[in-house]
Structure 1
């Protein structure tokens, strides 16, 4: 088997620039290579090959990467920015000539130039979406689309420390769970209540004050659509510039009681308006040795 040809210095520099941007922004945005792969409709291995400089970046991946990280394509590849801009200019010129410049035409152009290696079913979905856009239709994005088995969806791990004791600190150890694939239907059968699967995220607890309910380094499923107090329960929130996962209980007159399940930590009264609620905890993955 012949050895894969190395990228030119210019193409390798694009991959390095993209990787540096990803590393610098992934924590703040809650991104992983797996979630990036899902958005780009490619495998996680393909993403790794782009970021590690094994394969050159292409326009399709560049557009998705730019959107998710909130950076212009020029930031990591002037070559691809020029190529993408060329498609836009061609569309504008066609409009000026009175010709039909449809989304379907643009997607076909892109696939003709950069479609090598893209699975046929992915190409078909891209073309179908463009055709629907040209007809003025809206293709509903279904975050519960069927997975490999059943109705599974990916749940992203938020790379942060949710403190169940004190303030969170950076961590440098492997998480028990990274992104996971779960069945929303099964979660609901278990009694887990949520509106949209896309709002579900994984976070890792830190500390002992919520034991035995939440032990040190337990992964938790949280609902990020809950951004205000919605009845007594366990919430992830920020208070006085620190992140916590604690029970919150309404005590009246704009006051909440911040409660630890470990009774060695006494309850603390806080103003409801001062608690910046980020999510509500729904489920804890407790690991038990047997």
Structure 2
């Protein structure tokens, strides 16, 4: 049995009676992506990055997905609990890794080192064992939103064939009040995402490799604005204006690029652009 078949079996065990949609949301992946991995009709596999991320979210030992448990008989509630329980060896390994890391850190007192190692050796009983306020601040509060970034480069030039699925690679934690101050409204928190612009046709508004926050809950034209769309099987970020009942005008903000007229039936809208997250050198 190859590694992907093993991971699939482990994934099925992990999901159990849970709803797939809830699991996908918790793991930061599209429900369609999870369904494709679980389906016997597609060739989608559980990749390294996603496997490691799920292990972190579910507090499983690193590499849990890569080997089958040695439990005889059918998978019962008790055996599932045994399968998913982090081993003492994994905990010891984590503590050893912390010790190795601390050996390279200068300026820590012996007491501080001992406290950090002790925290790493403690079993996870559901209580919070953050090492510092800085570590705790990485987790969103009730007033913050986690916006996942997707590994998808929406073309702002000649277009780019979209991948079969988009996979979260990073997260942005932002306070809701910041979005409200900027007049940003969205269909739901879980519909927010970030992607990279790619090209020069929207330059001046969205520059090459800029991050843009999008609302994936908007899949139809809801008025003039900038959208992520597919046209003739190529992915674009374009400003859309409706010309008539049958046509859109796809507008490039860069005056050096020509605007294009597209049949509405040939355009698939994936999301609406809400905010450009520019990073400019001072």
For the residue of structure 2 that corresponds to 1:188, the secondary structure is helix
Cα offsets for 1:26-75 (capped at 9, x unmatched): 89949965993598354xxx7xx61xx4xxx2xxxx6xxxxxxxxxxxxx
> When you count helix as a share of all residues, which structure comes out higher?
1
Partner of 2:98: none
Partner of 2:230: 238
Which of 54, 69, 72 matches 1:79?
69
Which of 67, 74, 81 matches 1:110?
81
CA contact (8 A) 1:161 1:169 kept: no
In the superposition, the TM-score normalised over structure 2's length comes to 0.58
In the alignment, the residues of structure 2 paired with residue 247 and residue 84 of structure 1 have an alpha-carbon distance, to the nearest angstrom, of 55
CA contact (8 A) 2:152 2:196 kept: yes
How much is the aligned-residue C-alpha RMSD, in angstroms?
Answer: 4.2
Which of 53, 59, 67 matches 1:36?
53
Unaligned runs of 5+ in 2: 12-28, 35-46, 88-122, 129-137, 164-168
Partner of 2:126: 120
* Alpha-carbon shift at residue 237 of structure 1 (Å): 0.7
Q: How many residues align?
A: 201
Unaligned runs of 5+ in 1: 1-9, 63-75, 91-105, 123-145, 172-176
In the superposition, the TM-score normalised over structure 1's length comes to 0.56
Cα offsets for 1:172-205 (capped at 9, x unmatched): xxxxx93211123321222111021111111000
* Alpha-carbon shift at residue 274 of structure 1 (Å): 1.3
In the alignment, the residues of structure 1 paired with residue 83 and residue 170 of structure 2 have an alpha-carbon distance, to the nearest angstrom, of 36
CA contact (8 A) 1:192 1:282 kept: yes
Residues 1:208 and 2:200 aligned together? yes
For the residue of structure 1 that corresponds to 2:69, the secondary structure is helix
Which of 238, 243, 246 matches 1:251?
243
